[in-house]
Structure 1
Amino acid sequence: MAQQKNLRLYVEFPSAVPDLTFGDPKPTEWERVVASSDFFAPELEKDRILALHGCWFLPVERAHQQAHLVVARVAGYDKAVYGLPEAASPILLELQPYHVLVATSKLSHFITGRYGPTEAWSAIWNRLIRWLDPDCESESLRWESDVRIRSGQYDKLDSDAEAEAFRRSVQWFRDYTLFTAWGGKKGVIEGYESKIDHNGKQLPLTTARADCISETAMVFAYEWVLCQNPASRRTASDILDFVWSSPDFVQNDSASPAYGLVNWYQRGPIFYGDDNARVVLSSMAAGRLLGNDKWDEKVLRCLLANLRTSSPEGFRPNWLGYPDSFSNGRGWQYYRDTPFVRIAPHYQAYLWACNLWAYALTGFDGFLTPTKKAIRMTMEAYPHGWRWTNGLTQEIARMILPLAFLLRIEDTPEHRSWLDSMCSELLKQMQPCGAIAERIGPLENGSYPPPQSNEAYGTREASLLQANGDPVCDLLYTTNFAFLGLHEAAAATGDARLLEAENRMADFLCRIQVNSSKHPYLNGAWMRSFDYNRWEYWGSSADAGWAAWCAETGWTNTWISSVFAMRQQGDQLFDLSASERWKSLMQRLLKEMEVM
């Protein structure tokens, strides 16, 4: 009948179509939508990747018609770099000889489902409208996304933009991340998962992690200092009590080789050095801001516990687990006495920053000498000897903080040159808008490189980019720590170039803070992967645990928010006001931990 009337039909998620056999509706997991023809060209080239979040589709058992869009597990940032696998399923079919397009999923759900990237879905619907009505002269389809960002790349920011960004961030933490655990303990969720369902919703990640909790305490402590909000002071104290409690997080058996270490997650005896380091850094900052020394002894014991499980060269295994890492007669002495070198700033650098800060507070040389040795070996190995995790840029960003702390302790030409070289390497990746571009190193040095096949996509941790040049910045592993590092480096050196870079990054982060009334649990947050050319959150979502649209409380949001607070207060992380108190604790704890 449509053919007789010379009509064109677009049919979506049909119950039945002649000559097509559908299976039961099926959801995607890691599959993405890919343009499989030139139907949408030149705006959308063949093999272009799209996100159809929460995609449910009708598997087609027999299809001989032309498919213009398919759903498939593919590697790539914008393009399916390894082509389409045989298992690709049609999403948009053209039925010949009829003028009929059949969508096996709900393409029209692009606003509610937050499909991306925006310009690609605009191209799809403009093409579909033109195909349905070749005489249509309508303007390009435009809409306002349900989850957007605060401002455009070139919009002028208000003078109080940073204060507003901090206020929104604290409101996000207060309204959407806090919880009460058994016994009235106050905790913080890990964040919100990257997966977006068909209604555009992201579910909370409810794991109670020590790093996320203590870093959030720091945010509320800064809110107390800046705004004198007594509720924030109470919240910060309550959640620090949770993270320093045993057996929830702290290993409190003095006979255990893990004594003093902090669990990765609640009652989970795995001890990442970099996670312990962020627990320590944020707890030290929060305790000072709250004017409370009740956590000092446990913080210093944790520092010594990490120090005594580090090698003579100043490096620590990426992680240790109890009891497995301490089996077969391996006590903490085994790790203290066994030569071990792993040049990977992602895992090592923030423990070095802790050690240097602890040395400045206590004068104990055991914190300083092996740390300087490790830093020297790391600097001499750059770049070819560096192991990188999700990217090389993040390793550079991590090194800046300990180098800034080292300069505070020993202002020598060599130490200045080390800090200057790392800052210069980072600034090579800084874009005019203030974003830090991701870059990977040699693949053989990467722990979690981009997927090297379609089958590898989504199977492990991975980079946000597929290849150098993809216009993406990482707010989970790089930008957040670069912001902190540049802030401390600018304060330590007085270098106007670093201050200008820090200011530019602050403006960038103000602009890309999430703005959403439809999904208020994201309003005021920052997500992981931002495309600075498209000016929206987008990236290769290959990471199995923390993919492109995740919003982490710790790591991402806490450090960005806290640096905004430091800038308002004229404050730095490095502070020596607790020196006398720490020195009085030190001798007793050195004997207790046998670190003499």
Structure 2
Amino acid sequence: MKIAICSKHPLDHIPCQGSEWFPWTELETINFKEYGALMLIGSSRIDEPAIIPASMVSRLWWFVEAGGLLYAELLEAFDFSSSRLFGWKQDFPKTRRTLEKLRVVRANEESGLEQGALMEWSGAYALGFSMPDEPNKSWLEFSTFHGTHFAEELTSSPVHPGLSIRRLGAGLVVHCSFSLYSSEMKEAFRPYSRWKRAIETLAAETKLPLIVWPEVIKTSNGTSPEEAVEACIRWFEASGILPAMDGSAGVFENIHSVTGALSSDHRPDCTVHTALLFYLYGTWRKDPRYQDKSHQLLTFLFENGFQDMEKDSPSYGLFKWYDYPGRYPDQMFTDDNAWVCLVLLYLYRKTGRSEYLERGLPLAEALLSTQNGNGVRPIVLFRSQLEKLGLAGAGELPPSLNPHFESIAHAAFIQAYLVTGKQEYVDTALKGSLYLASRIDDLSFMYSQTSGYSRFVLPLGFLGQFDESGETLSTLERIVEYLLSHQSSLGGIEEADNPDPDRFGKEDAGVFIHNGEGIADQLYTNNFLLMNIWEAWKATGHTRYKTLYDDLSAYICRIQINSADARYHGGWMRAYDFKTEEYFGNNGDTGWGPYCMESGWTQAITSCGLLLGLLNESLFD
């Protein structure tokens, strides 16, 4: 079959082999009689309509009626003639996809495409409806389906046709109301395996020889920890995440989950994670250049006003959450500040650089002063609270009882104890951990119980030597038992026990909805657990913990991204699907969704976990 393709822009992937391409301006010059199929592809840009001239509608109608095949993607269908040709009437101008997903309307047993299966794409879509009096077979539909893999029941939001097939005379019209071949982000078609089956099914049903685009984001399927670390270092150097190669301009936060764009935000936590990575890598490779990069990253924080160093200020010692333009920190999150404290004091112990101590100890004291009598604390402090209550008064605010925040503060206090020998630090860490352990059935979690428990692990092994009751180590055992009950055959931990399954379409949501979906989280669970279970092994010598570390290490190396695109190659995304064995998860988190690549929290922390194993060292040595 001879095929003509006419599109608003040159396509990065030709839909059919042996086809002939025409620019949109030559649409009216195409001799339809020479072709068995026409593919008319509009633009994924919402401000660029693709209108079929009235004179062309009749020609297209006759072409199809005589047995031709017409594929129409994102063409304007407001007028009666084109809408009757397509069997689809447009409601509004096209808009940009945000949380919407496509749902398979009809199963195809031969391809394994299941009814209700959900898929994602990137680009534009147009709202409309199929003509009720036309012989039209809806094939894909879209709405804000909240499910992860499937949506068996209809959403409360309106459902619109995404792709339909209409028989007209002896021919067929395929209408696509979203960016498919016009999309400029092929990596955003997720999961790829399902899209591959969908395209193959569409080709078989229409006899249009469609070609599936190459997979943009693959995985390594197994490398060594050494190779994985090297690839991640190359990611930092090639992805654009470092605005200056020597570290002097800090590090950007992430590659965005939806847009794939490089974030320009600077955050102290991401910066110190990356500084820790470069220090450990430089130590492992005996390459002082990377230890100098580590120092330059920290100097960037010191010289750009991220820490309040005014001794009379109520937020003295604490860091801003991000490059907040105000003079003083406003929101001071526990986990972010505790990570800065831990890394500064650890690196002081390793390097002896006095500025790390001069910055780290005031931060440790500020955190200690805002713990309450039980050794726990609020999630976040606001400067207005500190101005009113002072540091000691802020310690009376309700604590979070969430290990995501609490346990990293306890780990930071361990570093402060190792630096100063001050017993109050380790006593507070132990008291707080025991308080959480005594209320383990009443803890709060952000994304999942698996993610919260992964964070709980970090300080417990070290604190066991100070706990005559043995409760910290028995709690560690209980936590690991729970995590192992959710371990995949690939070695990673599957997300489980979502505390708020209805939290969809907001920041800070999980990448799964219900247990059993087979989704793993590399932003909040497996990344931190890799490092934390290593620390548990080093502190206790318990072989079960070493086995879990080895399993996680193998899993992490297996799922590292292999891509021709430097934004992705050598890194890890947040959500990995054990069932399809590719990156995929629920898209309900609008800030840090399933495909984000966080510089510090994922890439750096994951590689630090691998490097500690390669160095056979502990953060608490």
Cα separation, partners in 2 of 1:4 and 1:214, compared to 1, 3 Å: closer
- Deviations along 1:118-159, whole A, 9 cap, x unmatched? 2211221121111123xx9x9x977641121111xxx6x4xx
* Aligned match for 2:218, one of 117, 132, 148: 148
Pairing 1:178–2:251 present: no
Q: CA deviation at 1:398?
A: 0.8
- Matched position secondary structure for 2:164: strand
Give the aligned partner of residue 366 of structure 2: 305
* 1:425 counterpart = 2:482: yes
Following TM superposition, by how much is the alpha carbon of 1:307 offset from its aligned partner in structure 2, in angstroms?
0.8
In structure 2, relative to structure 1, the CA distance for the partners of 1:39 and 1:227 (3 Å cut) is closer
**TM-fit CA distance, 1:219:** 1.1
Contact 1:71–1:88 (8 Å) recurs in 2: yes
TM-score normalised by the chain length of structure 2: 0.81
Deviation at 1:3, TM superposition (A): 5.2
Structure 2 partner of 1:390: 447
Alpha-carbon distance in 2 for matches of 1:371, 1:221 = 26
Residue identity over aligned pairs, in percent, reads 24
Match of 1:188 in 2: 251
* TM-score normalised over the length of structure 1: 0.85
Instruction: Give 1:543 shift.
Output: 0.5
Which of 126, 129, 147 is 2:203 aligned to? 129
Name the CA distance, whole Å, in 1 between partners of 2:567 and 2:551: 27
Could you report, residue by residue, the CA deviation over 1:246-279 in whole angstroms, capped at 9, with x for unpaired residues? 6x21111111111111111123532111111111
Q: For 1:171 and 1:104, how far apart are their aligned partners in 2?
A: 39
The aligned counterpart of 2:165 is: 94
Q: CA RMSD in A?
A: 2.6
- The CA deviation at 1:480 is 1.0
* Bigger mean CA deviation after superposition, 33-42 or 90-99: 33-42
2:228 corresponds, among 128, 141, 165, to 165
Letter in 1 for 2:389: R
**Aligned equivalents of 2:412, 2:465: Cα separation in 1:** 13
Query: For the residues of structure 1 that align with 2:113 and 2:443, how far apart are their CA atoms?
Result: 38
Correspondence for 1:531: 577
Letter in 2 for 1:472: I
Match of 2:43 in 1: none
Q: Which amino acid aligns with 1:274?
A: D
Q: Which deviates more from structure 2 when the two are superposed, residues 257-266 or residues 89-98? A: 89-98
Equivalenced residues, count: 540
Cα deviation, 1:266-316, whole Å, max 9, x if unaligned, reads 235321111111112222334444453331121011011011011111111
Say whether residues 1:273 and 2:334 are aligned partners: yes
Q: Call closer, same or farther: CA 1:558–1:471 in 2, change over 3 Å.
A: same
Q: Please give the alpha-carbon distance, in whole angstroms, between the structure 1 residues aligned to 2:362 and 2:295.
A: 19
Larger radius of gyration: 2
Distance 1:543 1:257 in 2: 34
Q: Is the 8 A contact 2:437 2:472 kept in 1?
A: no
Unaligned 5+ segments in structure 1 are 197-201, 576-596
Could you tell me which residue of structure 1 aligns to residue 600 of structure 2? 554
SS in 2 for 1:510: helix
Is the alpha carbon distance of 1:316 and 1:131 closer, same or farther for their aligned partners in structure 2, counting shifts above 3 Å? same
Equivalent residue in structure 2 for 1:234, among 286, 292, 297: 292
State the distance in 2 between where 1:111 and 1:148 align.
Answer: 18
Alignment correspondent of 1:461: 508
Q: Which residue of 1 aligns with 2:118?
A: 49
The residue aligned with 1:490 is 537
1:512-571 Cα deviation digits (max 9, x unpaired) = 111111x21211111100011211000001012100000001111111111211111111
> How far did 1:66 drift?
4.1
CA displacement, residues 298-340 of structure 1 (integer Å, 9 cap, x when unaligned): 1011011011011111111100121x2224x31112123x374
Aligned pairs for 1:508-527 (under 5 A) are: 508-517=555-564, 519-527=565-573
Aligned equivalent of 1:435, options 447, 471, 492: 492
**2:126 corresponds to:** 58
Q: Residue 308 of structure 2 corresponds to which residue in structure 1? A: 251
Residue 378, structure 1, aligned to residue 424, structure 2? no
Q: In the alignment, is residue 314 of structure 1 matched against residue 375 of structure 2? A: yes
| 1:210 alignment partner in structure 2 | 268
Unmatched segments (≥5 aa) in structure 2: 1-61
Mapped partners of 2:203, 2:112: distance in 1 = 14
Provide the rounded CA distance (Å) in 1 between the counterparts of 2:138 and 2:109.
Answer: 12
Distance change in 2, residues 1:59/1:83 (3 Å) = closer
The match for 2:28 is none
Q: Residue 111 of structure 1 contacts residue 145 of structure 1 at CA under 8 Å; is this kept in 2? A: no
Q: Deviations over 1:179-209 (max 9, x none)?
A: 259xx9521000111014xxxxx10111110
AA partner of residue 94 (structure 2): P
Q: 2:404 is paired with a residue of what secondary structure?
A: helix
Higher relative contact order (CA 8 A, sep 6+): 1
**1:168–1:410 distance in 2 versus 1, CA, 3 Å:** same
CA contact (8 A) 2:96 2:125 kept: yes
Q: What amino acid is aligned across from residue 29 of structure 1 in structure 2? A: T
8 Å contact 1:9–1:101 — kept in the other structure? yes
1:331 alignment counterpart: 390
